[in-house]
Amino acid sequence: MTAAKAAGLLHDIAKEIPADVQFTILKESGIINDTSLLANPNVYHGITAFLTVPKWFSVTDEDVLNAIRYHTTGRRGMSLLEKIVYVADVVSYDRTYKEAEELRERAFSDLNGVLLYAQRFTIKKLVKQSLPIAFDSIDCYNELCEQLSAANK
């Protein structure tokens, strides 16, 4: 199985685990140093999957595991696979927000542009809901802005 197929199939594997169980898994893991992550149950499943996929499916490919872990937050220095899984999740056909169709089309020609749009969209949504923004999301957004700025010079 290719890395992209594995990451695509497994990125949401923990989504149906109850949030309180995931919270316990995350707290006990000791890998969470960003407490803003613990305040937003919508991101638990990516990290829970990152922790459980190696045990349940014997997947050890670091790029696959990182694509699974960061598919909801993004991060600075994302690999191509991480970006593809993140964007594929954002533009999946079950997404019904008004820009989804346009983003689906753009995803094939402007991966970083769609990633930047998705980060902006998510950050705005979190601010409106008074939810904390994961440090990884802020780092990802800042890196994309830096790249865009450098490209426009």
pLDDT beneath 70: ranges in the chain: 33-34
What was the pLDDT predicted at 151? Answer: 82
Quote the tokens at residue 18: 């109850």
Convert the pLDDT of each residue in 130-149 to its tens digit.
Answer: 988 999 999 999 999 999 88
What was the pLDDT predicted at 41? Answer: 87
What was the pLDDT predicted at 95? Answer: 87
> Cβ(142)–Cβ(129) under 8 Å?
no
d(CA 153, CA 145): 13
Q: Which residues of 56-65 are buried (b: 16+ CB within 10 A; e: fewer)?
A: eeebeeebbb
d(CA 108, CA 104): 7
* pTM across the whole model: 0.91
d(CA 13, CA 98): 27
Domains of the chain, each with CATH number or no CATH: 3-151 (1.10.3210.10)
What was the pLDDT predicted at 144? Answer: 95
